[in-house]
Amino acid sequence: MTSTTDRTADTATAVADVLKMPGPRPARPTAWSTSLSFGWRALLKIKHVPEQLFDVTMFPIMFTLMFTYLFGGALAGSTSAYVQFLLPGILVQTVVMITMYTGLTLNKDIEKGVFDRFRSLPIWRPSPLVGALLGDVVRYTIASIIVLILGLVLGFRPDGGLVGVVASIGLLLLFSFSLSWIWTMFAMLMRTEQAVMGVSMFILFPLTFASNIFVDPATMPGWLQAFVGVNPISMLVTSIRGLMAGTVEMADLAIVFGWCAGFVVIFGPLTMRLYNRKS
């Protein structure tokens, strides 16, 4: 009867023989390939726990129906008229609100020690973070499509046509990807998921509700109009309304691109610094 020691020795010999086999050394994975791998990992989580899609399926439907029928008659005289103004804004609110789940997911991985293993791999350092953000872009796309389909059913008609709608979604995805770097930074700073969610909601609620999503800022007090005027969410909504209506101003787009670049340039390096120093 073969002893455990003999079997262990045979296994070690077999492994050594495989390592000595002639052949080219596998190429080092590129930054893009490793990021895509981690993005696929994020999507596999949804496959195994489909309940994670609840926030990108039910919440968009609930928000769109609730605000359309609550405020439509009072603010625009009819829901069909109000949905023309509301839908680009509610699209932005829906997607921007779910960006905070990026930070929650990363914080959970950090607490479980998974990211310690990732950092020991011979890969591009930011790959786990970038991959997680790329995976979430798929969730943002699903939410955007749901809101648009529901809006069309309720009577929304974009004068900018298909090109304007596709450009609007592309701009929203870019902004959401850039904004998510803020929540990844909080994921590194906070010790629990609840803390990350609390801080994220504290920031997102004023940005989304004190904006031009629901009403014309001209009806607001002067001090609030000043805040709405510099609010990046308001600028994004203005650009998306313009794209969907076919009347977008290049200056508005330039401002939104500037905010996107600022989020990535400022919070990207901060996140990576915290990630590299995380113990």
pLDDT in tens, 67-117: 888 888 777 778 888 899 999 999 999 899 888 888 888 888 888 777 777
Nearest Cα neighbor of 191 from 110, 116, 119 is: 110
Q: Provide the terminal-to-terminal Cα distance of the chain, rounded to the nearest Å.
A: 47
pLDDT value at position 15? 46
Instruction: Choose between 32 and 165: higher pLDDT.
Output: 165
Q: What share of the chain is helix, strand, coil (3-state, %, to 5)?
A: 80, 0, 20
pLDDT at 43: 79
Domain boundaries, the chain: 28-277
* pTM recorded for the entire structure: 0.83
Q: Is the predicted pLDDT of residue 25 greater than 90, yes or no?
A: no
* Residue 202 predicted with pLDDT over 70: yes
- CA Rg, the chain, in Å? 23
pLDDT bucket at 23, cuts 50 / 70 / 90? low
Closest residue by Cα to residue 75 from 205, 212, 210, 207:
212
